[in-house]
A and B are shown apart, each in its own frame.
With several copies, the nearest count.
Chain A
Amino acid sequence: MAGESGELMEEIRLTFPRKVAYLRFATSISKQICQQIEECREDKSFASDVELCVSEACTNAIKYGRSGEMEDVISLYFQIFADKLVIKVQDKGSGFNLNNLPDPDIESLPDRGYGLYIIRSKMDDVQYTHTEEGNFLTMIKFFKGDFNV
């Protein structure tokens, strides 16, 4: 894995039915991809952090991403750059406002609302875009040793 910072090197795409039974397809491919990337192997928690965030993001896409179309699917993109892994989760639901989400208020013992808090904690950057092709949650994690925005 060599290449200039910022240069996309490889992309892996997985598209699967919007069903919770397929969640493990997403997490298992996430594990394999991190195994594949040398830079991740040196950072012990990289793979497990990514797996956790993929699980959270895909769970949300499955729960909230109902499209109304015949083919109700979720797509997962792993983009390997020289300095970072970018993960995109695409659903075709009505979307939401990422910036309006409060962190969970532990004192009130909420039984939900931890997903995006976990994603934000584990990732270096999280973005959400609504396009004609659907909603994309973009999660960015830099390889250790590289700069960390």
Chain B
Amino acid sequence: MKLNVARKDGILIITPQVKRIDANVASDFKSKLIDFLDNGDKIIVINLSKVDFIDSSGLGAMVLILRKIGTDGRIKLCKLKEGVSSIFELTRLDEVFEIHKSEEGALESLKTG
């Protein structure tokens, strides 16, 4: 799975370059995220602006990362499209993840908070 990766003030910004995060790419997504954690990244913003479709395989990958980061680090999601956002709500994962409208908002909240 293609990811765009940027770093700003020690924050890792990951923007998946795919329209769909389903079982076809989820395990690759998961292992790429784990690689970042293993390399010491602890503050991560995932920008989902390119993603039209996510299902439980994609959700599972992100929850695993959230659990792995634990209290050591922080993770924020941003730029969820309507369909994606509604699945976070349905599964109540919107209560578990910190979700921001814009990437700037996510970054700002990590600096101030």
Contacts and interface: CB of A to CB of B under 8 A. Distances in A.
Interface string A26-57: 01000000000000000000001001100110
Interface stretch (B5-13, B37-45, B49-57): B49-57
A52 B55 CA distance: 7
Kindly state the interface size class of chain A when it binds its partner: 20 to 34
Given A104-B91, A111-B63, A121-B90, A63 B20 contact: no
Q: Give the secondary structure class of B's interface.
A: helix
Contact of A106 (B53, B67, B91): B91
Most buried by A among B56, B64, B90: B56
Q: Which of B23, B53, B61, B67 has the most CB of A within 10 A?
A: B23
A27 B83 CA distance: 15
Contact of A20 (B23, B56, B83): B23
A9 B96 CA distance: 43
B63 A109 contact: yes
Contacts of A112: 56, 60
Contacts, number: 61
A23 B22 contact: yes
Contacts of A117: 91
Interface in A108-141: 109-112, 114-115, 117-118, 121-122
B108 interface: no
User: By DSSP majority rule, is chain A's interface helix, strand, loop, or mixed?
Assistant: helix
A118 B87 contact: yes
Given A48-B83, A63-B23, A118 B66 contact: no
A59 interface: yes
A56 B91 contact: no
B19 to A, nearest CB: 10
Given A111-B63, A111-B67, 12 more contacts: A23-B22, A23-B23, A24-B20, A51-B53, A55-B22, A59-B23, A63-B23, A106-B95, A112-B60, A118-B55, A118-B90, A122-B90
Interface of A: 20-21, 23-24, 27, 48, 51-52, 55-56, 59, 62-63, 104, 106, 109-112, 114-115, 117-118, 121-122
